[in-house]
A and B are shown apart, each in its own frame.
Chain A
Amino acid sequence: MLVQSPTAPVDEAEAPADAQGTGTGPTPSAMSSTEPTPSGGADVSAATEPSTGRLDIADLNVYYGAFRAVKEISLTIRPHAITAVIGPSGCGKSTFLRSLNRMHEVIPDARVEGSVRLDGIDVYDAAVDPVQLRRVVGMVFQRPNPFPTMSIYDNVVAGLRLTGRHSQASLDEVVERSLVRAALWDEVKDKLRSNGMSLSGGQQQRLCIARALAVNPEVILMDEPASALDPVATLRIEELMAELRKNYTIVIVTHNMQQASRISDQTAFFTMGDDRAGYLVEMDDTIQIFTNPRNQLTEDYVSGRFG
């Protein structure tokens, strides 16, 4: 089980780990023998922060073949908060997001330099299995992508079934809990056996979120999760995210600046240089970025002067 830091707020921090009840859910400590002490242990804020789900990114470069898509990113993602990544199209936001759970490795020729530390463990360490990493750092994509051959129920438990970590008895429980957390339970509880594709776009996206929650992650990466949805469905996703931040670390890439300002706790602004490589302009509390940015580029972007 998860090693809880004595300083962690017990009510919140233990929820994602214990509530799923599988007892075999991977934790950072399962990925490597190293004790998951946050690298920023000396950080003054550490005492009040949840103990897990913190990401420290240092000098991150992502390449597609010879092309550098993202350069020299260094930032820290606070645990149990929503971090928004904003910036113009093509500035490497999605590439950056994918590199956090090594999903970029799905793309041929993509490679990474630098480090991404999850609770102190470098996820690029040779001892870290990307398959295990993705069980801890889940992902929700731009377009809802429920598995078309599966029912709603089967979609939710797909991650557990396909990774062989389940007992039949606990599945029902996982389905209900995940769907409740994804704010979809009331709408689908009477038709769990119908096909996931029969839901509306917004419901499908919440189903995908439930599916990601079911494998009991610490961190959820969201790649423009609402950009394919209408405003009402978008609102529901945003309300859901506000709820989820109590238990999970959320990183969201969004094109929608209002969305970033509404829902996120901190915001990172990316843009791209003359070499077309994306880089971090500045990162700060969201309120700061949108009201009093330090950098002129940020100011221009958030005030709508370009991008």
Chain B
Amino acid sequence: MAATTTAPARTADILRAGAGGRRMWFDRVMRSVALLASLACVIPLGAVLFFVTARGISAVNLDLLTKPSRALGVGGGAVSAILGTLQMVPLAALLAIPIGVLAGIYVHEYGAARSARTIRFAADVLVGVPSILIGIFVFTFLVLPFRQYNAFAGSVALAVIMAPVIMRTTEEVLKLVPGNLREASLALGVPRWRTTLAIVVRTALPGILTGIMLAVARATGETAPLLFTALGSRLVNVGDFGKPMDALPLFIYVNARQPYDLQNAQAWGAAFLLLVFVLAVNVLVRLGSTSRRRTP
């Protein structure tokens, strides 16, 4: 009897106990802190976009896009750097894509658990190695022996950076391919290699391409690995991978340190070009992956 009379009062006590309490107040504070922390993460991106665009866009002109760099920057441009990037990055991609994609396929589809783990760990370490060390590493066997800085060494250094990224993304997207597709294909009497290529890799292809694009964007912005390899050059170098070659990051690095406003402006212009390229790749990748989600 006592329980039935006190039960509603007790329920009300419990339900109202938290109102205006310490926990709710604490919740509001912590939420605000988390929100501020999130903003702090995004602010640098906004600042970079703003300053590079504000100072870079005015420096982008016909000279920058068509003329080689000159001493003191007068009447010069960044075409040697633009062309250099357009040569070294594709060659690096050519070297890194087959290695990265095949390694990713091996690790996921064929590797025994133990060897796969080892390779995966090695790739993760390689992704984390400071890129300047990769530059020095390539320097010792592709520059020193020839006593000649060269664009090929630059491409190799970029490829070393790209390959593990491509391998890991390839592996990750292969994981997303449902196992029952493999089984369906094998049950049709399709050989394993054909199943891997025509079903598994084909299904994962958009994701693999995404990984390749992101690796290309990353390599395009790398400076340190090129310092010891391609070196940079004021001359326009088309096709001679045995000689030094300029690249956009190197151009920025060199010109930003000069005491002359004109050269600084050209560095801002080149930075803007680089930023536009990297952003364009990222946006394309995003668009590609969302349209994929809509039509599976």
Chain A residues in the interface with B (C-beta under 8 A): 26, 101, 103, 106, 131-136, 138-139, 141, 143, 145-149, 158-159, 162-163, 195, 197, 208, 211-212, 215
21 contacts between A and B (CB under 8 A): A26-B189, A101-B187, A106-B186, A131-B189, A134-B189, A139-B183, A145-B180, A145-B181, A145-B184, A147-B184, A147-B185, A147-B199, A149-B202, A158-B188, A158-B198, A159-B190, A162-B185, A162-B195, A163-B190, A163-B191, A163-B194
Residue of B nearest to A135 (CB): B189
Known contacts A131-B190, A145-B181, A148-B296; 11 further A-B pairs (Cβ under 8 A): A138-B189, A141-B184, A141-B187, A145-B178, A145-B180, A145-B183, A147-B181, A147-B185, A149-B205, A163-B194, A208-B184
- In Å, the complex CA distance between A149 and B199 comes to 8
Given the complex, which residues of A lie within 8 Å of B205, measured CB to CB?
Answer: 149
> Contact residues of B with A, CB < 8 Å?
178, 180-192, 194-195, 198-199, 202-203, 205, 295-296
Taking CB atoms, residues of chain B closer than 8 Å to A136 are: 189
| 8 residue pairs, one from A and one from B, having the closest CB atoms | A135-B189, A159-B188, A139-B187, A134-B189, A145-B180, A162-B190, A145-B184, A162-B194
A143 to B184, CA, bound (A): 10
Report yes or no: A211 in contact with B182, Cβ–Cβ below 8 A.
no
A141 touches B180 (CB 8 A): yes
Question: CB within 8 A of A106: which of B182, B188, B189, B295?
Answer: B182
Bound: A197/B295 CA distance, A: 9
Closest to B112 in A: A108
B203 touches A148 (CB 8 A): yes
* Least Cβ–Cβ distance between A222 and chain B, in angstroms: 11
Q: Which of A26, A131, A149 contacts B191 (CB 8 A)?
A: A131
Interface contacts (Cβ under 8 Å), in number, total: 76
- Given A159-B190, A162-B195, also A148-B181 (CB < 8 A): yes
Picked from A141, A159, A195, A197, the residue with its CB within 8 Å of the CB of B189 is: A159
State A208–B185 Cα separation when bound (angstroms).
11
Q: Are B187 and A103 in contact (CB under 8 A)?
A: yes
Return the chain B residue nearest A214 by Cβ.
B188
- For B190, the chain A residues whose CB sits under 8 A away are 131, 158-159, 162-163
Contact partner, B296, options A101, A143, A197, Cβ 8 Å: A197
* B296–chain A nearest beta-carbon distance, Å: 6
Contact of A134 among B186, B194, B203 (CB under 8 A): B186
Q: Which chain B residues lie closer than 8 Å to A211 at the CB level? A: 184, 188
Q: How far is the CA of A103 from the CA of B189 in the complex (A)?
A: 10
A142 closest partner in B (C-beta): B180
Contact check, B185 vs A103: say whether CB atoms are below 8 A apart.
Answer: no
Say yes or no: B184 contacts A134, CB within 8 Å. Answer: no
Question: Which of chain B's residues has its CB closest to A221's CB?
Answer: B187
C-alpha gap A149/B205 in the complex (Å): 10
B237 shortest CB reach to chain A, Å: 41
Most buried by A among B180, B184, B190, B198: B184
In the assembled complex, which residues on chain B have CB atoms less than 8 Å from the CB atom of A131?
189-192
Task: Check A212–B180 contact: CB distance below 8 A.
Answer: no
| B62 shortest CB reach to chain A, Å | 45
Question: Known: A145-B181, A148-B181. Contact between A162 and B198, CB under 8 A?
Answer: yes
- B183 contacts A141, C-beta separation under 8 Å: yes
A159 CA to B199 CA, complexed, in Å: 11
Q: Which residues of A contact B188 (CB under 8 A)?
A: 134-135, 138, 158-159, 162-163, 211-212, 215
Nearest opposing residue in chain A for B194, CB measure: A162
Contact A132 B202 (CB under 8 A): no
A136 to B187, CA, bound (A): 10
Tell me, rounded to whole Å, the shortest Cβ–Cβ distance linking B200 to chain A. 10
List, in ascending order, chain A residues with CB within 8 A of B198's CB.
Answer: 158, 162
Known: A106-B183, A145-B183, A208-B184. A132 touches B189 (CB 8 A): yes
A104 CB to nearest chain B CB (Å) = 11
Residues of chain A lying within 8 A (CB to CB) of residue B178 = 145
Question: Are the C-beta atoms of A134 and B187 separated by less than 8 Å?
Answer: yes
**Bound form: Cα–Cα A212–B186 in Å:** 11
Question: Given the complex, which residues of B lie within 8 Å of A162, measured CB to CB?
Answer: 185, 188, 190, 194-195, 198-199
Q: Inside 8 A of B186's CB, which chain A residues have their CB? A: 103, 106, 134
Nearest Cβ in chain A — how far from B258, in angstroms? 52
How far, in whole Å, are A215 and B202 apart by their CA atoms in the complex? 21
Tell me, rounded to whole Å, the shortest Cβ–Cβ distance linking B193 to chain A. Answer: 10
B50 CB to nearest chain A CB (Å): 42
Chain A minimum-CB-distance residue to B202: A149
A143-B180, A148-B203 known; A158+B187 contact, CB < 8 A: no
Bound-state Cα–Cα, A106 to B190, Å: 13
Q: Shortest Cβ distance from A68 into chain B, in angstroms?
A: 23
Most chain B beta-carbon neighbours within 10 Å: one of A106, A149, A158, A211: A149
Q: Which residues of B contact A106 (CB under 8 A)?
A: 182-183, 186
